[in-house]
Amino acid sequence: MTTATNADITDIAKLIAKLDIGMLTTKAPDGTLHGRPMSNNGDVEYDGDTWFFAEDGSRKVSEIETDPAVQLGFIASDAATWINVEGEATIVRDDVDRKRDFWSDDLARWFPNGPEDPTVVLIKVQARRIDAWAQDGAWQLDLRD
Protein backbone atom coordinates (compact mmCIF):
# COMPACT_ATOMS: atom_id res chain seq x y z
CA MET A 1 0.00 0.00 0.00
CA THR A 2 1.19 3.49 -0.80
CA THR A 3 1.32 5.78 2.20
CA ALA A 4 -0.25 9.13 1.51
CA THR A 5 1.55 12.29 2.52
CA ASN A 6 -0.19 15.50 3.42
CA ALA A 7 -0.58 17.95 0.57
CA ASP A 8 -1.57 21.57 0.41
CA ILE A 9 -4.07 23.01 -2.02
CA THR A 10 -1.39 24.30 -4.41
CA ASP A 11 -0.03 20.75 -4.88
CA ILE A 12 -3.53 19.55 -5.75
CA ALA A 13 -4.17 22.57 -8.00
CA LYS A 14 -1.09 21.70 -10.05
CA LEU A 15 -2.46 18.20 -10.66
CA ILE A 16 -6.03 19.33 -11.40
CA ALA A 17 -4.84 21.93 -13.90
CA LYS A 18 -3.71 19.02 -16.10
CA LEU A 19 -7.17 17.40 -16.08
CA ASP A 20 -10.12 18.86 -17.92
CA ILE A 21 -12.93 16.35 -17.49
CA GLY A 22 -14.02 14.87 -14.18
CA MET A 23 -16.78 12.50 -13.18
CA LEU A 24 -19.35 13.98 -10.78
CA THR A 25 -21.07 11.28 -8.71
CA THR A 26 -24.31 11.96 -6.86
CA LYS A 27 -26.71 9.87 -4.79
CA ALA A 28 -30.18 9.03 -6.05
CA PRO A 29 -33.06 8.95 -3.53
CA ASP A 30 -32.99 5.11 -3.71
CA GLY A 31 -29.34 5.11 -2.60
CA THR A 32 -27.78 4.21 -5.94
CA LEU A 33 -24.77 6.21 -7.09
CA HIS A 34 -24.68 7.84 -10.51
CA GLY A 35 -21.83 9.65 -12.23
CA ARG A 36 -21.49 11.67 -15.38
CA PRO A 37 -18.54 13.44 -17.03
CA MET A 38 -18.32 17.16 -16.40
CA SER A 39 -15.89 19.75 -17.69
CA ASN A 40 -14.11 21.68 -14.96
CA ASN A 41 -13.99 24.62 -17.38
CA GLY A 42 -10.22 24.57 -17.53
CA ASP A 43 -9.84 25.43 -13.86
CA VAL A 44 -6.18 26.30 -13.67
CA GLU A 45 -6.34 27.98 -10.26
CA TYR A 46 -8.11 25.36 -8.15
CA ASP A 47 -8.79 26.60 -4.62
CA GLY A 48 -10.94 23.71 -3.39
CA ASP A 49 -14.10 24.85 -5.18
CA THR A 50 -15.13 23.39 -8.54
CA TRP A 51 -17.86 25.01 -10.61
CA PHE A 52 -19.93 23.23 -13.24
CA PHE A 53 -22.73 24.41 -15.47
CA ALA A 54 -26.00 22.44 -15.35
CA GLU A 55 -29.55 22.63 -16.53
CA ASP A 56 -31.97 23.56 -13.75
CA GLY A 57 -34.30 20.69 -12.88
CA SER A 58 -31.92 18.06 -14.28
CA ARG A 59 -31.36 14.83 -12.38
CA LYS A 60 -28.04 15.93 -10.90
CA VAL A 61 -29.45 19.25 -9.70
CA SER A 62 -32.39 17.61 -7.93
CA GLU A 63 -30.17 14.89 -6.44
CA ILE A 64 -27.80 17.53 -5.03
CA GLU A 65 -30.73 19.47 -3.57
CA THR A 66 -31.87 16.26 -1.84
CA ASP A 67 -28.38 15.19 -0.70
CA PRO A 68 -25.38 17.49 -1.15
CA ALA A 69 -22.69 14.79 -0.59
CA VAL A 70 -20.93 14.27 -3.92
CA GLN A 71 -17.71 12.85 -5.23
CA LEU A 72 -15.51 14.10 -8.05
CA GLY A 73 -13.15 11.74 -9.81
CA PHE A 74 -10.44 13.12 -12.04
CA ILE A 75 -8.61 10.48 -14.02
CA ALA A 76 -5.75 10.91 -16.44
CA SER A 77 -4.38 7.42 -16.90
CA ASP A 78 -1.98 8.62 -19.60
CA ALA A 79 -0.50 11.05 -17.05
CA ALA A 80 -0.84 8.43 -14.24
CA THR A 81 -2.80 10.93 -12.15
CA TRP A 82 -6.00 10.19 -10.25
CA ILE A 83 -7.80 12.53 -7.89
CA ASN A 84 -10.72 11.87 -5.55
CA VAL A 85 -12.61 14.84 -4.14
CA GLU A 86 -15.17 14.26 -1.39
CA GLY A 87 -17.32 17.33 -1.62
CA GLU A 88 -20.44 19.17 -0.65
CA ALA A 89 -22.40 20.62 -3.54
CA THR A 90 -24.73 23.57 -3.74
CA ILE A 91 -26.80 24.94 -6.61
CA VAL A 92 -26.11 28.59 -7.37
CA ARG A 93 -28.88 30.37 -9.28
CA ASP A 94 -29.18 33.98 -10.37
CA ASP A 95 -25.48 34.78 -10.43
CA VAL A 96 -25.14 35.93 -14.02
CA ASP A 97 -21.79 37.62 -13.41
CA ARG A 98 -20.25 34.40 -12.19
CA LYS A 99 -21.80 32.43 -15.04
CA ARG A 100 -20.29 34.88 -17.54
CA ASP A 101 -16.91 34.54 -15.77
CA PHE A 102 -16.88 30.75 -16.06
CA TRP A 103 -18.42 30.61 -19.53
CA SER A 104 -16.44 29.28 -22.46
CA ASP A 105 -17.70 29.01 -26.02
CA ASP A 106 -17.57 25.21 -26.17
CA LEU A 107 -20.30 25.12 -23.49
CA ALA A 108 -22.75 26.36 -26.14
CA ARG A 109 -22.95 22.76 -27.31
CA TRP A 110 -24.91 21.93 -24.14
CA PHE A 111 -26.34 25.35 -23.29
CA PRO A 112 -27.20 27.01 -26.60
CA ASN A 113 -28.81 30.04 -24.96
CA GLY A 114 -25.61 31.04 -23.21
CA PRO A 115 -24.83 32.00 -19.60
CA GLU A 116 -27.67 34.56 -19.36
CA ASP A 117 -30.28 31.78 -19.68
CA PRO A 118 -31.97 31.55 -16.24
CA THR A 119 -32.44 27.78 -16.65
CA VAL A 120 -28.64 27.44 -16.72
CA VAL A 121 -27.39 27.15 -13.13
CA LEU A 122 -24.03 26.57 -11.47
CA ILE A 123 -23.09 23.61 -9.31
CA LYS A 124 -20.46 24.57 -6.73
CA VAL A 125 -18.57 21.63 -5.24
CA GLN A 126 -16.62 22.51 -2.10
CA ALA A 127 -13.93 19.93 -1.38
CA ARG A 128 -13.95 18.47 2.13
CA ARG A 129 -11.24 15.89 1.58
CA ILE A 130 -8.97 15.25 -1.39
CA ASP A 131 -6.88 12.21 -2.24
CA ALA A 132 -4.46 12.24 -5.14
CA TRP A 133 -2.41 9.47 -6.64
CA ALA A 134 0.34 9.92 -9.21
CA GLN A 135 3.34 8.00 -10.47
CA ASP A 136 5.58 9.35 -7.74
CA GLY A 137 3.34 9.16 -4.69
CA ALA A 138 0.00 9.72 -3.02
CA TRP A 139 -1.30 12.78 -1.20
CA GLN A 140 -4.21 13.70 0.98
CA LEU A 141 -5.68 16.99 2.05
CA ASP A 142 -8.33 17.47 4.72
CA LEU A 143 -10.37 20.65 4.32
CA ARG A 144 -13.05 19.96 6.90
CA ASP A 145 -13.51 22.63 9.52
Question: Where do contacts with its own copies occur on this chain (CB under 8 A)?
Answer: 1, 19-23, 25, 27, 31-37, 55, 67, 69-71, 73-78, 82, 84, 86, 110, 128-129, 131, 133
Picking from 120, 45, 137, the residue whose alpha carbon sits closest to that of residue 83 is: 137
> 28 or 92: whose CB is closer to its own copies?
28
> 73 or 91: whose CB is closer to its own copies?
73
22: how many CB neighbours lie within 10 A of its CB?
Answer: 24
* Integer angstrom CA distances of residue 136 from 1, 80, 85, 94, 133: 13, 9, 19, 43, 8
Distance, in Å, from the CA atom of 54 to the CA atom of 38, rounded to the nearest integer, reads 9
> 1 or 94: whose CB is closer to its own copies?
1
Kindly state the smallest distance separating residue 48's Cβ from its own copies, in Å. Answer: 16
Kindly state the smallest distance separating residue 122's Cβ from its own copies, in Å. Answer: 17
CB 135 within 8 A of CB 82: no
Q: Is the dihedral of CA 23, 106, 68, 83 positive or negative?
A: positive
Kindly state the smallest distance separating residue 18's Cβ from its own copies, in Å. Answer: 10
> 5 or 101: whose CB is closer to its own copies?
5
Kindly state the smallest distance separating residue 7's Cβ from its own copies, in Å. Answer: 16
